[in-house]
Structure 1
Amino acid sequence: MKEVTINTMTYNETGNSEQNSEAFYEQFIGAIDIPFYTLNAEGKLTFYNEAAADLWGRSPLLGNDLWNNEFELLNPDGTMLEIAASPVAVCFRERRPVTGQEVIIVRPDGSRRHVISHPQPLFDNDGKLKGIVNLLEDVTAIRQAEKKIREYDQHYNTMMNSVEKKIEERTRELLRRIEEQEKNEERFHRMVEEVEDYAIILLDKDGLIQNWNRGAEKIKGYTEQEIIGKSFEIFYSEEDRKNKVPQTLIRKAATEGKATTEGWRIRKDGSRFWGSIVITALHDSKGALIGFTKVTRDLTERKIADDKLKSYSAELEFRNTELEQFTYVASHDMKEPVRKIQLYASHLKSSPHNQLDQRSSDFLDRLMKAAVRMNNLIEDLLAYSRTTSVEENFVPVDLNEIITEAAASYKEEFLQKEVAFVAGSLPMINGIPFQIKQLVDNLINNALKYSDPTRKPIIKISGKIVSEQSVPNVPHAGNDKYVLISFCDNGIGFEQEYADKIFGVFQRLEVSSETTGSGIGLAICKKIVQNHNGYIWAYGEKNNGARFDIYLPVLKVKES
């Protein structure tokens, strides 16, 4: 009986193994959630799995397409990567493995994926290069998570203004059938031997370990001699074994075909790592269970990053809640003494028994005006504290109706100042009606307040549907549509350098001593827009008007 040993797995070449070989390797590879492909010596694709096709965003033609057809490669910093400097090109040219080089793949739809490439050259017995097998590790989710964490840390250190949601993306499954059995068996076993970032283990029906690759030794710490023949339960904590977690997973895989989980696992030295595990049942040609494959990824760094992000998010939410409660209570308690000031001042002013000289009467008028300004400020502060986003309050909102109502409420002011008001047709959005009304009202009021006294005011409101890619200064992760609403006026304007400052609470540009306001109106506008998952930008030119661009998600019509 002749034995063939590949990696650390030994198989007897018998008639039975020949019958089951194709099914066995097909199922074995089908359990691996790893994009990989093979090339011949000419650089043409001879095999790729569905995970690779999903990663590329296309399905190349085998035997015809070169590995670099229709691909644009970038360096991790986003700069162009010359084909000659790519991992596969280096592997071809220098006839050596290229391990761990990260590149960015630009897919046909323009989206980008961060991958770590592990090309390995394949040689025949004469040392002649036969081709290349390449394993791709999709680290897009990790890079995006790292970017989010860096952004969050920056925001946290500057009053924790926002927290980006964690980005997590699971790799896809289902591998294609191996077409040429002998060649693909050799390629597959060489691939498994070189993988170091995934623990790929074969278990028998009872969960006993049958093989051990380099990735398993790197992640778990055991050598092949130490672990072969032992139960995979050794990787689980005492508590997990007591709760029968390993048995539950293997039973689920046997009955449902696959079991996936994440959790803390134990290395040989007793240290813990956060593993992402996929256990898949293997069957013979008659459907009988013959064992399991177990693929483990070490995601400890991602777990630590996720936990840190959750902690920051919870702390920020708690502080924001405290701030809103404090603002509401403080503003509410300040209204009573202001009302008394107004009442007593009014009584002093109107009482016939009080003989006030001109100076005292002037001081009393100033006091009453100051009390009115204080009351307005408190009301604005209360409005700002109540401007929250509650998903249950979102309903379809007709922007045209909102703008018509708002314009009607300013009829007297429009007539008095001879305002030219023009509003175009706008689509429906999903929003909180009273907040959208407040948003429109504040922007019209802002245009009136900062109108140029030397010319007749013009207020124009226009709108159109734009793609997500048209929204400036924000990351684009999808193909959603937005309605762009532009509020334009020919007022006194402002210097563009103050475009961000005007959205702050109590921020007012010193343009005129006669211009009144609390400095909260535009802050409320920004908060309302953020509540609706939108964006607002201000553009201005001194003495030449201002424009406010608002991007709000378009109402999605449900298909019947």
Structure 2
Amino acid sequence: MPSQPSPQLPDETISAWLRARRGHFDELVAGVEDYAIFMMSREGIILDWNRGAERLKGYTADEVIGRHFTLFYSDEDRASKFPDEELRIASAEGSFSIEGWRYRKDGSRFWASVTITAIRSEGGEVEGFLKITRDLTERKAAEEKLRRSEEHFRLLLENVVDYAIFMLDPEGHVMTWNSGARRIKQYEEEEIVGRHFSIFYPPEAITIGLPGALLGKALKEGRAEDEGWRVRKDGTRFWGNVVITALYDGSGELHGFTKITRDMSDRRQVEQLRETGRRKDAFLATLAHELRNPLAPMLPGVELILNAPGDIAAVSGVGEMLKRQVDQMARLIDDLLDMSRITAGKINLRRAVLPLRQVVDMAVEAVTPLVEERQHRLTLGLPDEAVMIEADPSRISQIISNLLSNAAKYTPPGGVIELSASCLSESVLEIKVRDNGIGIPKALQQSVFELFDQGASGSSEGLGIGLTLVRNLAEMHGGNVSVASEGEGKGCEFTVRLPVLAGSDATIASALVLEPSVLRKPGPARVLVADDGRSAADILAMFFQMEGMETVVAYDGAQAVEAASKFAPDFAFLDLGMPKLDGYEAARRIRRMYPRVFLAALSGWGAADDRRRSAEAGFDVHLLKPAKPDDLREVLRGHEAPSLSS
């Protein structure tokens, strides 16, 4: 309890004007109990005392009238002359208001709201003061409790590291920032407060207006929840679960939003692994089905040939069928190999400059049998002027043919497929493939590019990797691919954009030919075939015999070298994985015997490293199994014979 100043008698010099006004005190405020109201002389001497002052401060009127009002202040306040400063300010400005601790008679303190008003004479001179005090201890305690609660809540939020928790103003600008937000999003508080929260969203989400849509939903429904890719400060992405809640005050006025984000990348990765496993299982089942499809007619076809070798018409028909089925199997295997090479980063683009129409023709030619089989109508829309592209022609053709094949497979018989190309700028080519097929639900339009995905209803054929190849090959050329569909049964449109247009001074590249490029006139030649797969070796030898060549067959590398020493071949087609002596060593030994022999490697592996290794062994060309008849004929036509080995 602060020490009490000694009692003082009322100032005898109090003006009659002030004494006259004290007469109204009892009439006006003496009975007021909620407020301590009393008058003071201009020196601060207490002149009167109401019931509220007695209740609030604990003094009777007899105990306090005539004493200085510093009675209610602490020793520190009196030592600092703070009470005198209150009177000075009230005198100068007419009134003074403050909140602070004041003391009762028993030494206890209370939180007081104090107003001191100067009382002036008719001439404007300060004659005294009216002091009104209100006990706000309960309100102060409530405020302090709220402050502590808010501080505890702030500390709680600040130290939460698993969630990014922050507030947005009504327009979506960041107002607060916690440790979890700093950890997940990588921004320091001073870097992000005041910036719009759309900075956390990837470009594709901003393009469709997702940030604004989420705020709108939160305003309409009270909250909005979303999962998707979000962007950190360094540009990397994470999969976030986001909840945005609108904040209103008691009157219903919007104050902003709370936003809680959780990094769900680990869960997303687990889900993706599960989905990949599911797709892999579906892929393996599909692969088995796809490989059995061409085998099914081949086996009875072979049986027919064996039972009726003299029936030329039947044998010819079966031969055509076998060729189609082998081509189908080769396409499946090529797709698998391409996907494997892309995944391993082993595809190198072989760029050339050539007309766009030539590449389109290659693609259309590849899918024409499928389009005709399904009785579709294929229309082309190409620029009238000659357009040159600088790209890997086989890969661009593959992009187009895969999209056309996809359209043909997912369009019911008798449908319409449209292929168009246009120049968006001096360097960007846009290719569109549109169909009126089964369409794609909006929820699945991005997943169709994922490996092994075959859409909502799947497909009766294919491995589900065609569109993945399209996307990867487009990205390797610096481009992209997108899909648009109004939904199931409404067809779809794939758009590929590629920065491959060549300059106006570009010249058409020379036609690609198998190496080496030593031309020869067609003519008989001696061909050595070596493969530990006896059926494959015998069939290949039969093919060369039908082409008018003299052939000899070996079933391992050692036999191949021995046969070459006696046969003196012009051409040697060697499997690389033979026993006793592999194809690489057999090629080296045959090359030493016959420097001008043309060596062709036969292998199921065709990556850049595989081709490099066969070239180092002395092979002139690397052919993938099963070698296509046209490729074999090209080798025979493209190299001089006879007596290349002499």
- Assess same fold via TM > 0.5: no
Which structure is higher in RCO with an 8 Å CA cutoff and minimum separation 6?
A: 1
**TM-score class, shorter:** 0.3 to 0.5
- TM-score with structure 1 length normalisation? 0.33
Please tell me whether Structure 1 or Structure 2 has the larger radius of gyration of its CA atoms. Answer: 2
